[in-house]
Protein backbone atom coordinates (compact mmCIF):
# COMPACT_ATOMS: atom_id res chain seq x y z
CA UNK A 1 0.00 0.00 0.00
CA UNK A 2 1.39 3.35 -1.03
CA UNK A 3 1.04 6.23 1.42
CA UNK A 4 -0.29 9.37 -0.30
CA UNK A 5 2.07 12.34 -0.42
CA UNK A 6 0.26 15.26 -2.05
CA UNK A 7 2.10 18.50 -2.80
CA UNK A 8 1.41 21.52 -0.60
CA UNK A 9 -1.65 23.50 -1.66
CA UNK A 10 -3.19 26.63 -0.17
CA UNK A 11 -6.71 26.53 1.21
CA UNK A 12 -9.21 27.99 -1.27
CA UNK A 13 -9.25 31.78 -1.14
CA UNK A 14 -6.25 32.15 1.16
CA UNK A 15 -3.40 32.07 -1.37
CA UNK A 16 -3.47 35.82 -2.16
CA UNK A 17 -3.87 36.77 1.51
CA UNK A 18 -0.90 34.63 2.52
CA UNK A 19 1.19 36.07 -0.32
CA UNK A 20 0.34 39.56 0.93
CA UNK A 21 1.31 38.59 4.48
CA UNK A 22 4.62 37.15 3.26
CA UNK A 23 5.30 40.28 1.21
CA UNK A 24 4.73 42.42 4.31
CA UNK A 25 7.07 40.17 6.27
CA UNK A 26 9.80 40.51 3.62
CA UNK A 27 9.37 44.27 3.65
CA UNK A 28 9.61 44.32 7.45
CA UNK A 29 12.80 42.25 7.41
CA UNK A 30 14.33 44.60 4.82
CA UNK A 31 13.50 47.64 6.95
CA UNK A 32 14.89 45.97 10.08
CA UNK A 33 18.04 44.89 8.23
CA UNK A 34 18.64 48.38 6.91
CA UNK A 35 18.04 49.87 10.35
CA UNK A 36 20.43 47.32 11.85
CA UNK A 37 23.16 48.24 9.40
CA UNK A 38 22.60 51.95 10.11
CA UNK A 39 22.83 51.29 13.85
CA UNK A 40 26.06 49.33 13.38
CA UNK A 41 27.50 52.13 11.25
CA UNK A 42 26.51 54.69 13.87
CA UNK A 43 28.14 52.68 16.64
CA UNK A 44 31.31 52.40 14.61
CA UNK A 45 31.35 56.14 13.85
CA UNK A 46 30.62 57.16 17.46
CA UNK A 47 33.06 54.66 18.91
CA UNK A 48 35.95 55.80 16.78
CA UNK A 49 37.35 58.13 19.46
CA UNK A 50 37.90 56.85 23.02
CA UNK A 51 35.11 54.26 22.82
CA UNK A 52 36.72 51.40 20.97
CA UNK A 53 34.47 48.76 22.55
CA UNK A 54 31.40 50.61 21.23
CA UNK A 55 32.92 50.59 17.74
CA UNK A 56 33.79 46.90 18.09
CA UNK A 57 30.18 46.13 19.07
CA UNK A 58 29.01 47.88 15.91
CA UNK A 59 31.50 45.98 13.77
CA UNK A 60 30.47 42.62 15.23
CA UNK A 61 26.83 43.44 14.52
CA UNK A 62 27.38 43.84 10.77
CA UNK A 63 27.71 40.09 10.02
CA UNK A 64 24.55 39.41 12.05
CA UNK A 65 22.57 42.01 10.12
CA UNK A 66 23.90 40.72 6.79
CA UNK A 67 23.21 37.15 7.88
CA UNK A 68 19.62 37.99 8.71
CA UNK A 69 19.12 39.71 5.37
CA UNK A 70 20.75 36.81 3.53
CA UNK A 71 18.53 34.29 5.30
CA UNK A 72 15.44 36.31 4.45
CA UNK A 73 16.51 36.54 0.81
CA UNK A 74 17.10 32.80 0.54
CA UNK A 75 14.28 31.54 2.77
CA UNK A 76 11.87 30.65 -0.04
CA UNK A 77 14.46 28.71 -2.11
CA UNK A 78 15.65 26.87 1.02
CA UNK A 79 12.10 25.78 1.89
CA UNK A 80 11.43 24.86 -1.74
CA UNK A 81 14.30 22.34 -1.64
CA UNK A 82 12.41 20.30 0.96
CA UNK A 83 9.15 20.24 -1.00
CA UNK A 84 10.44 19.22 -4.43
Per-residue pLDDT of the chain (84 residues; tens, 9 = 90+): 889 888 878 888 888 999 999 999 999 999 999 999 999 999 999 887 778 888 999 999 999 999 999 999 999 899 888 877
DSSP SS3 for 8: coil
What is the predicted pLDDT for the residue at 66? 96
What is the predicted pLDDT for the residue at 7? 81
What is the predicted pLDDT for the residue at 61? 94
The answer to whether 60 and 53 have CB atoms below 8 angstroms apart is no
What is the predicted pLDDT for the residue at 37? 96
64 vs 6: CA distance, rounded Å? 37
Size of the chain, expressed as the number of residues it contains: 84
Amino acid sequence: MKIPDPPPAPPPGLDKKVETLLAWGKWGVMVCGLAGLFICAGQMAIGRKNRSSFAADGATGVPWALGGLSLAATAAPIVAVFFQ
